[in-house]
Amino acid sequence: MRLFNPITKTEVIPGIHDTSGAIELPDDNWYFKTYEIPAGKILAVNENGEPVLEDIIQTEE
């Protein structure tokens, strides 16, 4: 299992980072398999603190 911080939206490495508030994600979670966020998407966090990709909403000015 790997750790994810839903506040900073980053991976947490025990012994290097503070693990308080981090949640466990399986090693095969998409977050650890993707090197770049796809075009038109943004990294967000769902109600469980897990990383999700959401569509970028553009507002008219």
Angle formed at CA 22 by CA 19 and CA 26, multiple of 5 degrees: 115
Of residues 57 and 53, more confidence is placed in 53
In this prediction the pTM is 0.80
Burial classification of residue 52, based on how many CB atoms lie within 10 Å of its CB (0-12 exposed, 13-18 middle, 19 or more buried): middle
Mean pLDDT for the chain overall? 92
